[in-house]
Amino acid sequence: MYNGWLEYAGIELINAARTKKYITTLLAGLDVRCDTSGLQAARAQANYVSPAADNAPWYKATRPATGRFYGLFPATMAGEEDASREVGVIELSGDGATYGRPRYGSREIRVTAMAFAADEEAMGEGLSWLRDALATGECAETTGACTNNELRMYLAQPKNGTADNHMIRTFIRTEILDNLTVTRQMGSRVCVAKMVEFIFTVGVPWAFTPKTLVGSLSMDTGTASFTDPAGEDCYNTSNAYTNFVADPFYTAIVKPPAPPVVKPPNVIKPASWRRRTLAVTQSEVDRWGRVAPVVTLSVGASGGSLIRVRFYGNGTVSGCGFEGEFYVSYIPPSSSMILDAMRREITVVRSNGAKVPGGQLVYGSDGLPLKWPSLGCSASYTMTVDMLPGQTGITALLESSVRE
């Protein structure tokens, strides 16, 4: 990936075009031989003049020395393209081994950069800003450290201005692992330059493309009434013992009892649903990696109850053959619920704009844990949205992002 621009928790930490301009115009005799063309236009920023004139991220008018700190120039970046898939191996007492279930662990991103300033006082101010930005992101100490910060960079050097924003990649639930370390001080007669290093850990071990709008549905129009097939029980389709073969001549071996299912009190079997469907075409999933959908359900003044969202692959919309499912038990009036498969988080946006957790309002078949959809290996998909008859003012919006 391109190491010339890096943003953490909404704060621009590295901008090679900005720092190059400051160095070449404000530090006599220094030059940077590096192509940064296209980056300034991609960030939609005016011509860089000085930290004070540009209101650089570290600049404070009440601390004049911050105007003599010129930012970070990237040296190396490692780990952002590494895969984190791992499989546990257990050697057998005899020949061979058995394997655990594959999983994706966290990943580390190591950043090395050169900090430039006109003098030691300015360098001290700049490194103080950098330590604070890495430690708390954009949160003040009075509110505590942020969680679930995002790290963003470009897949490649932008060349075409804002049209290159499709190349931005986002790492989710990122935290600083090793804080700022000064590894080397460079000698210079015209400036102070120090090599610094810091390491991020990424809790969601993929890079995500920018979200794109797939489509939206108004549930007030175009809905078709239907009834689930008689006896349908999607919980049983995932039962490990469904196809257990009993030996009729050795009755001591019987199928183990299934674990009890504790259903929430509001889990009901509707007599009928009203459904609308939205196609996710091949062009939207024809990418390396998996497609993570983000569904936003918005309700009017009457609120919403028992809304079901499913994703079916290969154009077949049939019963329990879905690849992801949400049962939403309740959404408060004039609110929205965001079902985010990128972050695997569920959030309710209240009518006053407050964002609160909403996972307790969502479940899967028969009250069991939901199944997050991860779309891929298919020509196309269909999202179905089902709701109880008589409800109004409900809309569904689908966005998607590719995890790489």
Could you read off the pLDDT of 132-174 as tens digits, one per residue?
Answer: 888 875 554 444 445 678 999 999 999 887 778 889 999 999 9
- Same domain as 217, residue 136: no
Using DSSP, state whether 18 is helix, strand or coil: helix
Averaged pLDDT of the chain: 85
Is 46 found in the same domain as 126? yes
Distance between CA atoms of 133 and 11, rounded to whole angstroms?
7
Dihedral sign, CA of 190, 191, 192, 198? negative
Q: Is the pLDDT of residue 177 over 90?
A: no
- pLDDT tier, 66 (very low <50, low <70, confident <90, very high otherwise): very high
- pLDDT of res. 299: 95
Question: How would residue 45 be classed by pLDDT, with cut points 50, 70 and 90?
Answer: confident
pLDDT at 73 over 80: yes
Share of the chain above pLDDT 70, in %: 88
What pLDDT was estimated at residue 348? Answer: 96
Q: What is the CATH number of the domain that holds 29?
A: 2.40.30.200
- Is residue 230 domain-resident? yes
Q: Report the pLDDT value the prediction gives residue 46, as an integer from 0 to 100.
A: 83
At residue 143, the pLDDT reads 44
162 lies in the same domain as 226: no
- The reply to whether 232 falls in a domain is yes
Output the pLDDT for position 12. 94
Q: What is the pLDDT of residue 141?
A: 47
Kindly report, residue by residue over 333-369, the tens digit of the pLDDT. Answer: 999 999 999 988 999 999 999 999 999 999 888 777 8
pLDDT in the model for residue 144? 45
- Of the candidates 76, 61, 79, 71, the one whose C-alpha atom is nearest the C-alpha of residue 112 is 76
197 shares a domain with 125: yes
| Structure confidence at residue 239 (pLDDT) | 59
Paired tokens of 86 = 């791992």
Q: In this structure, are 22 and 167 located in the same domain? A: yes
Residues 189 and 328 in one domain: no
Instruction: For Cα atoms 241, 246, 247, give the angle at the middle one, nearest 5 degrees.
Output: 155
Strands 149-154 and 168-186: antiparallel
As a whole number of angstroms, the distance between CA 288 and CA 286 comes to: 7
The contacts of residue 175 (CB under 8 Å, 6+ apart) are: 147, 149, 200, 201, 203
For the chain, what is the domain count? 2
pLDDT: which is higher, 328 or 264: 328
- Domain-ending residue, one of 207, 231, 264: 207
Identify whether residues 146 and 236 lie together within a single domain: no
Quick check: 253 pLDDT over 80? no
Flag whether pLDDT at 109 surpasses 60.
Answer: yes
Domain span holding position 76: 2-86+98-207
Question: Is the same domain home to 125 and 183?
Answer: yes
pLDDT in the model for residue 3 = 92
Please give the pLDDT value at position 263: 64
- Taking only the tens place, the pLDDT of each residue in 231-249 is 677 766 555 566 677 777 7
The predicted structure's pLDDT at residue 230: 73
Query: For residue 311, which of 272, 280, 282 has the smallest C-alpha distance?
Result: 280
Listed residue (290, 42, 12, 70) closest to 157, CA to CA = 42
Question: Are 140 and 203 found together in one domain?
Answer: yes
Place of tokens 């050697």: 91
Residue 8 has pLDDT above 90, yes or no: yes
pTM, whole model, 2 decimals? 0.83
Establish if 92 belongs to a structural domain.
Answer: no
Residue with tokens 């390396």: 288
Taking residues 99-115, what's their average pLDDT? 89
For residue 157, tell me if it sits in a domain.
yes
DSSP string over 223-282: -EEE-PPTT--TTGGG-TTTT----TT-TT--PPPPPP----TT----S-EEEEEEEE-H
**Same structural domain, 163 and 200:** yes
Which residue, 131, 122, 113, 115, is CA-closest to 52? Answer: 122
pLDDT digit string (tens) for 199-243? 999 988 889 999 989 999 999 988 888 888 776 777 665 555 666
Name the residue among 7, 148, 128 with its Cα closest to residue 63: 128
Q: Which residue has the higher pLDDT, 395 or 187?
A: 395
Q: What is the reported pLDDT for 241?
A: 63
For 288-323, write each residue's pLDDT tens digit: 668 889 999 999 999 998 999 999 887 678 778 888
Bridge partners for 278 per DSSP: 383
β-bridge pairing 11-15 and 69-78: unpaired
Q: 93 lies in a domain? A: no
